[in-house]
Chain A
């Protein structure tokens, strides 16, 4: 379905307004139904703890790290910690 068809079904005439509504709708649908899922790889740097989450992320589904509990270069899911470590690290975090 194109934006034009949606506008006709809803009765909207302003394209900008329709696009804004559709973007909101797609976001809301993805929060509830996860229609589009992708993966992204980030390089880990020694002594760097924080990494940017890509801006277009709606929901993180899984976090996997290479060689976590294996030595076969497999990516495996890692656990989420409830509390961050109390002792400061080399990178000051």
Chain B
């Protein structure tokens, strides 16, 4: 039976720190952790490598739409292109001129939307900065993607929240004009609209309780 592990995390700047409980005995008499008891535990960096071991769930800005989720290509790894750009590698990749952006999934640090600079059947060079070693890492990329950059782009937002978006833009518009009274007015409408949208999704009464992953 595999050993049961226990992990914790904390945030450090724009990075997430993962620590693992080390319950192995440290019987070095010169160590402050000397002793036979299992309560001599320490949080340490992960004690072993785990492929796809960490899963982050997060919200993101929907400034792109994947038109065809099945239109994907396999990525075998990534490396630094000569000028410090990210180069994702694969095999028999499409070189269709219609590919201007890709959405990556499965590459540790580069999931999300990227702009394509050069198309090649063995690699794509992206306009994303990267300085580092060559990495072998299997992932996928969606190549049929629309990006929020021209007037034809359709916003991927619930209908009710599209009204909130209008209020927000009007609020910012009047803020730039220096008309703070109208700015406040539209800001209030925006906040009310978003709140009504949130409330509409929750039925029944609400209870505040400590979650299973509360702070230790």
Do the two chains belong together in a single complex?
Answer: yes
A: residues with CB less than 8 A from B are: 1-4, 6-7, 9-12, 15, 18-19, 21-71, 75, 77-85, 87, 89-91, 93
Specify the chain A residue showing the minimal Cβ separation from B45.
A49
Q: Which residue of A is nearest B211, CB measured?
A: A77
Contacts of B5 on A, CB cut-off 8 Å?
A: 65, 67-69
The stretch among B51-59, B79-87, B89-97 that forms the contact with chain A is B51-59
Return chain B residues, CB-CB under 8 Å to A10: 166, 169-170, 173
Within 8 Å by CB of A39, from B55, B108, B164, B195, lies B55
Q: A67-B2, A79-B215, A84-B17 are in contact. Are A28 and B168 (CB under 8 A)?
A: yes
Flag if A85 contacts B44 (CB, 8 Å). Answer: yes
Known: A62-B213, A83-B10, A93-B17. 13 other contacts (CB 8 A): A26-B148, A26-B155, A29-B168, A35-B157, A36-B156, A40-B56, A44-B46, A49-B46, A51-B108, A63-B54, A66-B52, A79-B213, A89-B44
Please tell me if B161 contacts chain A, counting CB pairs below 8 Å. Answer: yes
B interface residue numbers (CB < 8 A to A): 1-12, 14-19, 42-63, 105-106, 108-113, 137, 148-158, 161-162, 164-166, 168-170, 172-173, 191, 194-195, 197-198, 212-216
Partner of A45 from the list B44, B49, B113 (CB cut-off 8 Å) is: B49
Q: Which residues of A contact B157 (CB under 8 A)?
A: 1, 26, 29, 35
When distances are taken between beta carbons in the complex, the residues of chain B under 8 Å from A30 are: 59-62
Q: Cβ of A51: which chain B residues have Cβ within 8 Å of it?
A: 15-18, 54, 108-109
Of the candidates B19, B48, B61, which one forms a contact with A81 in the assembled complex, judged by CB atoms under 8 Å apart?
B19
A29 CA / B137 CA spacing, docked (Å): 33
Measured CA separation A57–B1 after assembly (Å): 36
Q: A52-B109, A53-B15, A84-B12 are in contact. Are A4 and B59 (CB under 8 A)?
A: no
Q: Report if A57-B56 is in contact (Cβ < 8 Å); known contacts: A19-B149, A22-B148, A81-B216.
A: yes
Contact assessment for B56 and A60 in the assembled complex, using a CB-CB cutoff below 8 Å: yes
Q: What are 27 contact pairs spanning A and B, CB under 8 A? A: A2-B152, A3-B150, A3-B155, A4-B151, A10-B173, A12-B173, A19-B149, A31-B59, A32-B191, A34-B59, A36-B60, A37-B59, A38-B58, A40-B55, A45-B46, A49-B17, A54-B58, A56-B112, A61-B59, A63-B9, A65-B7, A67-B2, A67-B4, A69-B4, A80-B215, A80-B216, A84-B19
A24 touches B168 (CB 8 A): yes
Contacts of A82 in B (CB 8 A): 10, 215-216
State whether A65 touches B18 (Cβ < 8 A): yes
Q: Do A43 and B58 have beta carbons less than 8 Å apart?
A: no
Instruction: Write out the residue numbers on chain B whose beta carbons fall within 8 Å of the beta carbon of A79.
Output: 8-9, 213-216
Q: Chain B residues with Cβ under 8 A from A25's Cβ?
A: 164-165, 168-169, 172
A84 to B15: give the CA distance in the assembly, Å: 13
Q: What chain A residues lie within 8 Å of B58 (beta carbons)? A: 37-40, 54, 57-61
* B198 and A44 contacting across the interface, CB-CB below 8 Å: no
